[in-house]
Amino acid sequence: MNFNQRTLLKSGFLFLLKMAVFLGIALVLLTGASQVLKPKDNTPASGIKEPETRAIYTERENSLDVIAIGNSDIYAAYTPMQLWKDYGLASYVCGEPGQRVYEAYYLLKSVLEHQSPRVVVYETDEIFQNASPAKEREKLIFAGLADKFPVFQYHNRWKMLKPEDFTGKVKYTFDNFWKGFRYTDRVDAYLGKRYMRRRKRITTMDPIPRYYLDKIVALCREKGIELLFVEVPSANSWNYKRHRTVAQYAKENEIPFLDLNKPGKEYQVDWISDTRDKGDHMNYNGARKITAYLGKYLKENYTLPDRREDPAYADWNADLQKYEKAIQSVGL
């Protein structure tokens, strides 16, 4: 080895050493900042993302038998307290506005660190909820970084830091008796045309949603969790081509799929009275119908215990009283 080769090798080694030191320091800083800036509670005042959803972290460990996840369609149509009242099912809805499939995957992975549900209900509308390719890549990278380093999600929390943020102790206290359901009694009718006309064509499932949908399926199977695909009624975002796409994927992966946009006597949505926003989401009237149907289906097709007489679930009966009182206060 001549002098020039030795010099080049030495320069390369020093460069790699400097990069390793730099990355090590960056990793330490990101980890430390994440520990400080990550909310230590899940109340709305804590600054946590979607506290109504992340109130699930307050639930007693491994106490939930069903978890529903998806975008705003699911939290508008699935009311866990009705399932509790009718069947004694302990469930929670982890919906978020505009949720993407990769965000659902990261959220579900986090929730499954604390819960071991028997069934995960996955609302499929978000499979097709995509922005431009460049914007989706940006959101995907952000979601992955935020999963590993919460500082990316909560960097603005420095304005509300308290002494306890520096101790690293996490204590979740937000008791959300709605269990993730977002209530409204507002009625804004859908007056549009029929949207579920039969089509032979299917809609292409983009590679990124499909990749993370595969990961959700694999995660549930790894944990021994039954996966159920559901599409709740949505006149403005759903169509028969999307139905065929999801039905094909579900068949290939042996996953049951309930599309409640198809005509069904048991849930008969009235688009005059059952939507809050001209056909995008259910209101409380619609949610009662959808939840009644899903509860019956879950009870008939899965081995799910009735927890109503279990002393360990006494707080659920107390939450039911709060829920019914809140509903009665608006005259329903």
For the chain, give every domain's residue range.
Answer: 38-328
Q: How far is CA 279 from CA 19, 194, 332, in A?
A: 54, 11, 21
**pLDDT score, position 6:** 64
Taken in order 91, 96, 97, 101, the sign of the CA dihedral is negative
Tokens at 95, concatenated: 């919906």
Query: How is residue 92 annotated by DSSP?
Result: E
144 pLDDT exceeds 80?
no
Looking at domain 38-328, which CATH architecture does it have?
3-Layer(aba) Sandwich (3.40)
pLDDT in tens, 8-30: 666 666 666 666 666 566 555 55
Q: What are phi and psi of 164, to 5 degrees?
A: -70, -20
More confident residue, 91 or 166: 91
Average pLDDT rounded to a whole number, residues 153-161: 69
